[in-house]
């Protein structure tokens, strides 16, 4: 992509301005040409940092496929205002809603979807409950069980404490302290008690979101068949396709990573969605 197709933007949200980067789809006939667009919903904490470069590459690839893309930082994250420990899922879902409206109003995108990774995918599914108008969704490895996800993060924190404290390490004491402390260090990110409680309550199977738009659920892992939980989630939704690609977990690794297969599967599904939409529109006009 040429530098002219990417620019920094400020997204209004609750009296603040979120930092974002807009990847234009390359049309030169003004806003009239931007038919399709996607808002990227980043994963949580350390996963966001590890996945950053891959998501940039995904946005650039999708822009070449004529999907305008908007990447942005939640409040308390990256270059957006506030401290990380001051916000949680409820705030970030509101940020997603603000970003989708910004795509429509600022850039005239007719159909706005989301591409979410991990916890970002989960929050994106919940955004319509906060007023977001989302026409389609791509969910990469969404977090289905927030409690399990939180426990995995806690285990990593315990391992870090063990390495730091040495012989003085007491796993039970650290675990109890984490349960009670207002702020807990998760891999260098301070996570507030209210945020941890909100994450723990997330369960896409027990409390499925009311999301009727066309959706791709993509399982990224070592198998070429989607996991049972993702298949069950697809069955609970009105218009969901579930698939799997063999893909390294780039969201929890530091170093070179590629999501070429995930991007390719996403672009294929989006092309099919465009064709389906065009046929449906043509049939309605007859």
pLDDT tens figures, 2-53: 446 899 999 999 999 999 999 998 654 444 568 999 999 999 988 999 999 9
d(Cα 254, Cα 30) in Å, to the nearest integer?
Answer: 39
Q: Which residues pair with 284 in a beta bridge?
A: none
pLDDT attached to residue 253: 77
Q: Residues 259-282: what's their mean pLDDT?
A: 91
pLDDT attached to residue 151: 85
pLDDT over 60 at 165, yes or no:
no
At 161, the pLDDT band (50, 70, 90 cuts) reads: low
pLDDT tens by residue, 178-209 = 566 666 667 677 787 888 889 999 999 998 88
d(Cα 75, Cα 56) in Å, to the nearest integer?
Answer: 19
Q: Which residues pair with 37 in a beta bridge?
A: 68, 112
d(Cα 155, Cα 163) in Å, to the nearest integer?
Answer: 12
Helices 46-64/260-285 angle, 10° precision: 50
* pTM for the model: 0.89
d(Cα 55, Cα 57) in Å, to the nearest integer?
Answer: 5
What are 171's two structure tokens?
A: 């796993």
pLDDT tens by residue, 105-146 = 999 999 999 999 999 999 999 999 888 999 999 999 999 999
Domains identified in the chain and CATH numbers: 3-145+208-285 (3.40.50.1820), 147-201 (no CATH)
pLDDT attached to residue 157: 67
DSSP assignment, residue 74?
Answer: P
């Amino acid at each position: 992509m040429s530098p002219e197709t990417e620019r920094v933007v400020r997204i209004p949200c609750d009296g603040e301005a979120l930092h974002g980067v807009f990847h234009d789809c390359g049309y030169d006939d003004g806003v009239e040409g931007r038919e399709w667009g996607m808002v990227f919903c980043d994963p949580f904490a350390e996963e966001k940092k590890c996945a950053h470069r891959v998501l940039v590459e995904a946005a650039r690839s999708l822009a070449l496929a004529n999907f305008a893309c908007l990447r942005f930082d939640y409040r308390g994250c990256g270059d957006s205002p506030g401290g990380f420990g001051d916000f949680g899922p409820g705030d970030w879902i509101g940020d997603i809603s603000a970003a989708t409206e910004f795509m429509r109003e600022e850039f005239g995108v007719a159909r706005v979807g989301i591409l979410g990774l991990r916890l970002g995918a989960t929050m994106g599914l919940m955004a319509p409950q906060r007023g977001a108008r989302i026409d389609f969704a791509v969910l990469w490895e969404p977090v289905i069980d927030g409690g399990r996800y939180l426990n995995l993060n806690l285990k990593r924190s315990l391992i870090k404490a063990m390495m730091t404290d040495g012989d003085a390490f007491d796993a039970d004491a650290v675990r109890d302290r984490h349960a009670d402390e207002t702020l807990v260090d998760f891999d260098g990110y301070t996570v507030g008690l209210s945020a941890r409680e909100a994450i723990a309550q997330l369960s896409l199977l027990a409390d499925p979101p009311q999301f009727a738009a066309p959706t791709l659920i993509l399982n990224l892992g070592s198998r070429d068949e989607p996991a049972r939980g993702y298949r069950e989630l697809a069955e609970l939704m009105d218009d969901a396709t579930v698939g799997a690609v063999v893909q390294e977990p780039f969201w929890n690794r530091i170093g070179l990573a590629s999501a070429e297969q995930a991007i390719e599967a996403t672009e294929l599904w989006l092309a099919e969605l465009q064709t389906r939409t065009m046929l449906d529109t043509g049939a309605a006009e007859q």
